[in-house]
Amino acid sequence: MKITTKREELVAKLSTVSRAVSTRAATQALSGVLLEAGEGSVTLSATDLDLGLRTTVDATIEGGGSVLLPGKLLAEVARSLADATVEIETREAERDVEIRSGSSSFHLRVLPAEDFPTLPSADGEPIRIPAAALAASIDLVARAASRDDMRPVLTGVFVTASGNEMTMVATDSYRLAVKRTELEAALSGEIEANIPARALRELARILSGEGVEDAAITLQQNQAIFEAGSITLTTRLIEGQFPNFRQLLPESYEHDVRLPRGEFLDVARRISQLAQRNAPLRFSFEPGELTVSAETPDVGDARETMPAAFEGEPMEIGFNPEYLREGIESVGGDEVLLRLISPLRPGLMQPVDNEDFRYLVMPIRLNV
């Protein structure tokens, strides 16, 4: 098998596919990228069993076949080449491939291709969702998913979609992000699945780079298959009951405080520098103003006051600095509506004029 292709396209496609290469798996084949020669193109595939990525590269093919090569090394070698054209040719007797580009020549040992798992293919009519809406929702919500594998159900984003509406929800039990999106056209089917946040973050990255109008989604058994342009992403669905997010959102609030988003975010970022070693970001509300402060023993402290349309008895509440900043960043528009109940009840951030995005964050108990 001999493949001749453009270095620039090969590097770009390997950069995408190699993100699914496993770096820790006991099975050596999962550390590889599978190259399969077709007619006028070569298919690149990689998987770590949880996430799979597949794409094609235009190429001149001489002889068919497939070969499994070390994924990370192949990507690094391709990136280092200086010539515009790359040739990859198998050498059966030596059990390796020769990579030639300009005056450069590399020999890479092949991995056992028979151990490489078969990636699922879409079966049935897919549901198409506009790429921009999908990527935007993922960017807002996926950051709130848990990264702790001890509670697998919380490492996903719960996605529901039907008719003209799509909702994404994620929570790590300390914060909750909910994004509702009104779609321009009615969907051809329904979606209800807990999809790994890692897979959706990869999908958002792909959608932003592929320049496609929509993504095709197919759900089958315990798998989700996304097709975006020339790239196919497959992922296992997360089993188990996702929390009922509607029960987690308070029905009413004691205080609704409108804050200028830019200034609020700048203040939170500045003062957070002194909220180290799990120290909280402290919010002290008094009529007409908000004081944000932080203190880390043996490091220092900081405080800053800004105008705030707060009414009623003075109130103090503390939040995790990172979670608080990410919540402010996620709320669109010029103003943030901060909704509070009491120092020990969660606070909610959302746009002033709608509830399409809501970000609930648990408080930290403050030491007096």
User: Tens of pLDDT along 182-191?
Assistant: 999 999 999 9
**Closest C-alpha among 2, 124, 17 to residue 62:** 2
Q: Give dist(CA 229, CA 240) in Å, integer.
A: 31
Q: Are 352 and 337 in contact (CB under 8 A)?
A: yes
Kindly report the pTM of this predicted structure.
0.94
- Mean pLDDT value of segment 11-29: 92
Up-side HSE of residue 111: CA atoms within 13 Å toward CB? 21
| Whole-number Cα distances in Å, 150 to 154, 221, 237, 274 | 9, 23, 16, 31
Q: Give dist(CA 54, CA 13) in Å, integer.
A: 9
Question: 212 or 174: whose pLDDT is higher?
Answer: 174
Q: What's the chain's average pLDDT? A: 96
Residue 310 in this model has a pLDDT that exceeds 80: yes
**Closest C-alpha among 50, 332, 330 to residue 200:** 50
Residue 158 in this model has a pLDDT that exceeds 90: yes
Dump pLDDT digits (tens) for 215-252.
999 999 899 999 999 999 999 999 999 999 999 999 99
- Mean pLDDT value of segment 293-301: 97
- Mean pLDDT value of segment 248-269: 97
- Mean pLDDT value of segment 194-223: 94
Q: Are 75 and 11 in contact (CB under 8 A)?
A: yes
Dump pLDDT digits (tens) for 314-343.
999 999 999 999 999 999 899 999 999 999
Torsion (CA) 120, 123, 128, 133 in degrees, nearest 10: -20
Per-position DSSP letters for 88-138, written without gaps between them: EEEETTTTEEEEEETTEEEEEEPB-GGGSPPPP---SPPEEEEHHHHHHHH
- What is the token pair recorded at 30? 């999962």
Q: Give dist(CA 240, CA 298) in Å, integer.
A: 44
State residue 26's pLDDT score. Answer: 79
% of the chain exceeding 90 in pLDDT: 94
- Mean pLDDT value of segment 210-214: 87
**Closest C-alpha among 149, 70, 142, 153 to residue 106:** 70
Q: What is the set of domains in the chain, with CATH numbers?
A: 2-115 (3.10.150.10), 127-245 (3.10.150.10), 251-364 (3.10.150.10)
Q: Are 58 and 86 in contact (CB under 8 A)?
A: no
Q: Give dist(CA 14, CA 137) in Å, integer.
A: 26
Residue 368 in this model has a pLDDT that exceeds 80: no
Residue 209 in this model has a pLDDT that exceeds 90: no
Residue 23 in this model has a pLDDT that exceeds 90: no
- What is the token pair recorded at 37? 């020669």
- Mean pLDDT value of segment 123-150: 95
- Mean pLDDT value of segment 280-300: 97
Residue 210 in this model has a pLDDT that exceeds 80: no
